[in-house]
Amino acid sequence: MSKLSQLKWQCRRGVKELDLVLNHYLEQDYRIANEQEQTAFKRLLTLEDPILFDLILGNILADNEAQQSLLKKLQNYVFSLDN
């Protein structure tokens, strides 16, 4: 299984909204992201759904700047869906 396929599998979550956001990032931005952002994404994928959901909604802050920067991108996508 390729690394990208493994990531796609990890993007499958119990919450459909998380699936949509994570897969959108993987398909649109992951390949062009720098190594630091890719690492931040992989670390986010290790989190449990409720924590990840709260991070994406901005209810809690990430541990580091790289993750927080990535979360801003994910939040922009989420909020663009509302409009």
Quote the DSSP letter at residue 11.
T
Mean pLDDT of 59-74: 94
pLDDT tens column, 8-17: 999 999 889 9
Contact between 60 and 54 under an 8 Å Cβ cutoff? The reply is yes
Q: What percent of the chain has pLDDT over 90?
A: 81
Which CATH number does 3-82 carry?
A: 1.10.150.250
Tell me the domain boundaries of the chain.
Answer: 3-82
Region of 15 please: left (phi>0), alpha (psi -120 to 50) or beta: beta
Instruction: Give the pLDDT score at 83.
Output: 60
Task: Return the closest-CA partner of residue 13 out of 82, 83, 80, 74.
Answer: 74
pLDDT tens readout for residues 23-46: 999 999 999 999 999 999 999 999
Query: How far from 83 is each of 1, 12, 61, 76, 77, CA to CA, in Å?
Result: 37, 25, 24, 11, 10
DSSP code of residue 17? H
